[in-house]
């Protein structure tokens, strides 16, 4: 049969397929993601741009403040206080051992009960590299200059410092002989200024001088024409200074003089031997000045002596500042020897007359290099070793647990599973015994085994925060499960008591519960009168969290279909077995996000125990401000630091929650 077809009605495929074409650049990749998620419409584009502008402005101001102006010495000099508070320093091995066990069990548990992706190991690698490279790179940056003051009455020194063989040192006398130095814009000081705590220091004296000069200049501007004008202290510069560099034994290595007619001089020295050095400046009596000083032509009077007057700063370059923590002092003594004693130090404070970070204040705006060397690098050097060791132990635990899953050795896997389970179950009682000791103070109940008791009131800082969180979370979950089951119980007495407890606790603020635990708890039993404060707070936090956990678990129990119970009954399971093996596992998986959210909230709520006299992270920060007045203006830096600690730990807890949810709760809901 013949049919005529219109060729325009049919498409004839070419013998070869057409060449493939790439999709438009604006629809794929990063640009495509931006167009799809941030710029998919006019309104979204405007909101995105406005948000970016606000974020940029905020980050710009924050980063500039953190690098140029913030004083992070409150952190660098008090890391030990933030971590363990007043925990006995010779017993810190207990805290270190407990931290090692937690890191090992954490890695082992992650490998057995979860998994770690490529991003996790990449993050760990980046952290380790930064901890190693930042201190090394910062050593290539020249240290910031150090200043101390000299006037006609006092030398705010001498200054003791350490130096290594080959270091290039420079010491310059800077005469303060211009009135413009009294203004903020004309202040020539940018670096560390000696500011030893007390009523006298270079920083305080310099502030007084600047204020007096400014007042004199204001009075001069307001004075009537022809009236007598008093010269400022800057206009009366008349100091003869003898600058000497001494070694630890007091031998002069180099010296120079600064005279009124040639005031700005520099003393340079290349260190021959590693050790302690002393920079000493001595004012001398000045003979007649024969040149103009500060714009005033003093008379040529070679036959009489003019009194010393004026102010000068001594600038030290090439000198590293150091911290005065116990561990740093021991390391410094081992390398450089004992710090030389001084009989002519102007201040009796133990940290005076040395380039200790606690005795210095940075003036002016730092550069990025100065921030790395003087602020970030000391902190990383302090925490880098313990953090890298903790990561290494964590990875050892992880690979011990990961290995049997690769070789499919069931016996080895069961052994590791058993070790991880027993380890986590026994960590709390073992850790409590390890930290608190055995017996009473001063007694050894078991001959040959000494574990000196440590009062819990010495558990402070991050240690106390983690102890309160870990124990409260561990105890509140099973108690909350029992309360939830009790509230659903068919027995009226148990149900009523459970409801009464839950609603009473949930109806009161946490701070009320804590005060109740502190003041009212001892009235329930005479034996509770001697209960330590930490234990009372643990009781309050546990009961408070248990009440909320009970309602969370009850919500999970209500979503389980009745068919699950009926199927269990059909299989011959009694109510107890049905609850333990059928109902609770599904209910707990379903409420993992809500439970972990409550645990994170409990972790942050531990900061309230400072109100009742315990010093966790927030409380120890307040103690630092009270006991170290020089950090009274570093409130922002201190609270930002503990805020970062809270964020990191809360983020880790949230990550664990997400991992648990992906492994079980999602399947339970589906």
How far apart CA 632 and CA 76 sit, in angstroms, is 15
pLDDT higher than 80, residue 243: yes
Question: Which pLDDT score, from 0 to 100, does residue 110 have?
Answer: 87
Q: Is the pLDDT of residue 22 over 80?
A: no
pLDDT at residue 448 in the model:
56
* pLDDT tens by residue, 414-440: 888 889 999 999 999 999 999 998 866
Confidence at residue 666, expressed as pLDDT on a 0 to 100 scale: 46
DSSP 587-627: HHHHTHHHHHHHHHHHHHHGGGGGGGT--SHHHHHHHHHHH
- pTM: predicted TM-score of the whole model, two decimal places: 0.84
Check pLDDT > 90 for residue 54: yes
- pLDDT computed for residue 405 by the predictor: 67
Averaged pLDDT for residues 628-649: 91
Instruction: Report yes or no: 316 and 255 within 8 Å, Cβ to Cβ.
Output: no
- Report residue 615's pLDDT band, with 50, 70 and 90 as the boundaries: very high
The mean pLDDT of 360-378, rounded to a whole number, is 88
What pLDDT, on the 0 to 100 scale, is given for residue 289?
39
Query: Whose structure tokens read 């659903």?
Result: 488
pLDDT reading at 316 higher than 90: yes
Q: Which fold has domain 146-220+230-365?
A: Jelly Rolls (2.60.120)
Contacts (Cβ under 8 Å, ≥6 apart) of 545: 472, 473, 476, 480, 598, 599, 602
- The top-level CATH class assigned to 454-670 is mainly alpha
Q: Are 628 and 634 in contact (CB under 8 A)?
A: no
pLDDT tens digit sequence for 184-216: 888 889 899 999 887 789 999 999 999 998 888
Residues 305, 624: Cα–Cα separation, whole Å: 50
Query: What are the residue boundaries of the structural domains of the chain, listed by start?
Result: 25-69, 88-141+367-440, 146-220+230-365, 454-670
Bond into 158 cis (ω within 30): yes
Residue range 556-583: average pLDDT?
Answer: 89
Q: What is the pLDDT of residue 551?
A: 94
Lowest mean pLDDT among 31-35, 152-156, 368-372: 31-35
pLDDT at 288 over 60: no
């Amino acid at each position: 049969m013949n049919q005529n077809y219109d060729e325009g009605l049919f498409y004839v495929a070419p013998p070869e397929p057409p060449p493939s074409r790439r999709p438009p650049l604006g629809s794929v990749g990063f640009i495509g993601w931006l167009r799809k998620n941030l710029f998919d419409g006019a309104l979204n584009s405007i909101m995105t741009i406005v948000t970016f502008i606000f974020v940029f402005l905020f980050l710009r101001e924050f980063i500039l403040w953190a690098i140029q102006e913030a004083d992070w010495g409150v952190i660098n000099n008090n890391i030990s206080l933030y971590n363990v508070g007043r925990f006995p320093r010779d017993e810190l091995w207990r805290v270190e051992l407990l931290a090692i066990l937690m890191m090992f069990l954490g890695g082992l548990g992650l490998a057995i009960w979860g998994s770690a992706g490529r991003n996790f190991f990449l993050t760990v690698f980046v952290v380790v590299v930064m901890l190693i490279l930042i201190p090394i790179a910062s050593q290539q940056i020249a240290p910031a200059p150090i200043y101390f003051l000299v006037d006609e009455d006092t030398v705010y020194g001498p200054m003791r410092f350490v130096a290594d063989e080959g270091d290039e040192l420079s010491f310059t006398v800077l005469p303060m002989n211009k009135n413009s130095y009294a203004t903020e814009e004309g202040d020539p000081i940018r670096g560390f200024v000696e500011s030893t705590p007390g009523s006298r220091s270079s920083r305080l004296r310099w502030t007084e001088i600047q204020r007096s000069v400014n007042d004199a200049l204001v009075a001069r501007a307001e004075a009537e024409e022809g009236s007598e004008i008093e010269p400022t202290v800057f206009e009366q510069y008349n100091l003869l200074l003898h600058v000497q560099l001494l070694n630890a034994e007091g031998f002069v290595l180099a010296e120079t003089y600064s005279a009124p007619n040639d005031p700005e001089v520099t003393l340079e020295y290349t260190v021959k031997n590693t050790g302690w050095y002393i920079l000493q400046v001595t004012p001398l009596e000045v003979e007649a000045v024969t040149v103009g000083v500060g714009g005033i032509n003093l008379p040529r009077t070679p036959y009489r002596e003019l009194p010393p007057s004026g102010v000068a700063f001594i600038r030290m370059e090439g000198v590293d500042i150091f911290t005065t923590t116990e561990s740093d002092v021991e390391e410094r003594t081992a390398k450089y020897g004992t710090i030389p004693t001084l009989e002519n130090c102007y201040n009796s404070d133990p940290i005076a007359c040395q380039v200790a970070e606690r005795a210095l204040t940075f003036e002016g705006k730092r550069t990025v290099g100065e921030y790395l060397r003087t602020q970030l690098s000391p902190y990383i050097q302090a925490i880098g070793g313990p953090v890298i060791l903790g990561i290494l132990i964590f990875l050892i635990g992880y690979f011990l647990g990961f290995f049997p899953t690769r070789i499919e050795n069931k016996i080895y896997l069961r052994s590791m599973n058993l070790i991880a389970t027993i380890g986590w179950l026994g960590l709390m009682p073992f850790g409590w015994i390890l930290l608190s000791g055995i017996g009473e103070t001063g007694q050894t109940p078991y001959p040959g085994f000494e574990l000196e008791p440590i009062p819990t009131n010495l558990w402070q800082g991050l240690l106390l925060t983690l102890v309160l969180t870990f124990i409260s979370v561990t105890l509140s979950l099973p108690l909350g499960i029992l309360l939830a089951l009790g509230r659903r119980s068919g027995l009226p007495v148990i149900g009523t008591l459970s409801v009464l407890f839950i609603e009473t606790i949930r109806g009161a603020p946490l701070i009320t519960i804590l005060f109740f635990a502190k003041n009212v708890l001892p009235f329930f039993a005479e034996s509770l009168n001697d209960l330590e404060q930490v234990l009372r707070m643990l009781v309050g936090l546990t009961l408070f969290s248990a009440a909320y956990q009970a309602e969370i678990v009850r919500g999970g129990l209500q979503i389980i279909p009745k068919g699950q119970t009926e199927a269990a009954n059909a299989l011959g399971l009694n109510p107890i077995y049905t609850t333990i093996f059928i109902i609770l596992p599904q209910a707990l998986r379903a409420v993992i996000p809500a439970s972990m959210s409550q645990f994170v909230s409990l972790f942050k709520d531990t900061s309230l125990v400072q109100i009742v006299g315990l010093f966790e992270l927030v409380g120890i920060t307040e103690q630092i401000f009270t006991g170290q007045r020089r950090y009274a203006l570093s409130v922002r830096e201190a609270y930002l630091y503990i805020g970062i600690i809270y964020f990191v730990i809360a983020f880790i807890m949230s990550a664990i929650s997400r991992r648990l949810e992906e492994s079980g709760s999602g399947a339970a809901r589906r």
